[in-house]
Amino acid sequence: MTRLTERPAAASGTFRIGGDLPVHRLGFGAMRITGPGVWGEPADRDEAIRVLRRAVELGVTLIDTADSYGPFVSEDLIAEALHPYPDDLVIATKGGFTRHGPNIWEPLGRPEYLRQCVEMSLRRLRLERIDLYQLHRIDPKVPLEEQLGVLRDMQSEGKIRHIGLSEVSVAELEEARKIVEIATVQNLYNLTSRQHEPVLEHCERHGIGFIPWFPLATGRLAEAGGTLAQVASRHEATPAQIALAWLLHRSPVTLPIPGTSKVAHLDENLAAATISLTDDEVAQLGKAA
C-alpha cells in the first residue's frame, strides 16, 4: 500500500464538492503550464507534462484549469498527460473569458458562447461530463439568470456535474444560489490578500468549497525576523509552504491550488500538506497579515 508520505496531497484531508465529489484539499492549478502572460505553449512542454503526471503521483485529485489558459493549451496538455484519467481525479475547468493576447482577459457571458465553451472543453479534455464547471467571471452585460441558466441546462443534460463561480462577492453568490446550486467559489485569497474573508465565511457556513487562487503570495511577511519566517524556521519549511499550510488550517472548506511549471517546485508545494501548524501559529500568522 502507498504510504501517506509518498502521496503528500492526501495529508491535506478530503472535501466533498457538492456534497458527493471527494477530493484531496490541496490540489493543482494548471494556469502556469502555459506561456508568458498565460498565452501560448509553455517554454518546456515535456516538463509541463511531467508536472501534471507528478501531481497525480503525489496524490492530487483536483486539477483546476480553464479554456482561457493558453487559450486552450492547459486543457490540451492535461488530456495529453493524463487521459485516460484515474477514477479519483477531478478536473475542474472554467469558461466565460475571451483572450486576444498575453494578459488580456475579457468576460463574455452570452448563453450561446458559454454553451460553446462547455462543449469545446469536453472535447479537449476528452470527457463526457465535466465534474466542476466554473463561470470564470460574471459578465455585467448579460443577466446572471441567462449565464447560469445555460450551465443549469447543461447540468440537466448530463454534461456538467457541479457548478462553481469565480471572483464574486457575497451578494453575487447569494443571487447565484437563487438560480442554481453553487458547489464552489474561486476567489483571490492568501495570507496577505484577505478582502474576500466574508465570502470564505459564507462558503464555510453553507458547505461550499472555497478555492483560493494566487495562494502562495507572502509579500513582506516572508522577510527575515517576521512571524512567517519564524514559523517557517520552526518547521524547517519555506515561507511559501507555511502560507499553504495556513490556508489548509484556515477553514475546512479551503481547497488551495498552487500552480507551477517545474516538478521540483511542485514537490515543495505539495509537501505543505504534511505541515501541522498549532492553533497559536495559525492565529499569529492571521494577525500578522
Which amino acid, one-letter code, is at 130?
Answer: I
Q: Measured in whole angstroms, how far is the alpha carbon of residue 152 from the centre of its chain? A: 21
Mean pLDDT throughout 248-253?
A: 97
Are the beta carbons of 51 and 261 closer than 8 angstroms?
A: yes
Among candidate residues 69, 113, 133, 189, the one labeled active-site is 69
User: Does 270 score more than 70 pLDDT?
Assistant: yes
Q: Distance between terminal CA atoms of the chain?
A: 40
CA dihedral angle for residue 201, residue 270, residue 50, residue 218, rounded to 10 degrees: 70
Percent residues over pLDDT 70 in the chain: 98
Predicted confidence band at 2 (pLDDT cuts at 50, 70, 90)? very low
Higher pLDDT, 288 or 188: 188
Residue 25 pLDDT: 98
Give per-residue pLDDT as tens, 62-107.
Answer: 999 999 999 999 999 999 999 999 999 999 999 999 999 999 999 9
User: Does 20 score more than 50 pLDDT?
Assistant: yes
Residue 11 pLDDT: 97
Residue 5 pLDDT: 63
Residue 225 pLDDT: 82
Rounded CA-CA distance 178/199 in Å is: 16
User: Does 117 score more than 90 pLDDT?
Assistant: yes
Rounded CA-CA distance 260/42 in Å is: 11
CATH class of the 4-288 domain in this structure: alpha beta
Residue 88 pLDDT: 98
Predicted confidence band at 3 (pLDDT cuts at 50, 70, 90)? very low
User: Does 1 score more than 50 pLDDT?
Assistant: no
User: Does 218 score more than 80 pLDDT?
Assistant: no
All residues at 6 or more sequence positions from 7 whose CB lies less than 8 Å from its CB, including other chains: 57, 58, 59
Mean pLDDT throughout 193-212?
A: 97
Percent residues over pLDDT 90 in the chain: 92
- What is the DSSP pairing of strand 97-98 with strand 160-166? unpaired
Residue 6 pLDDT: 84
133 has catalytic annotation: no
Rounded CA-CA distance 69/249 in Å is: 29
Strand partners, 97: 107
Give per-residue pLDDT as tens, 152-197.
Answer: 999 999 999 999 999 999 999 999 999 999 999 999 999 999 999 9
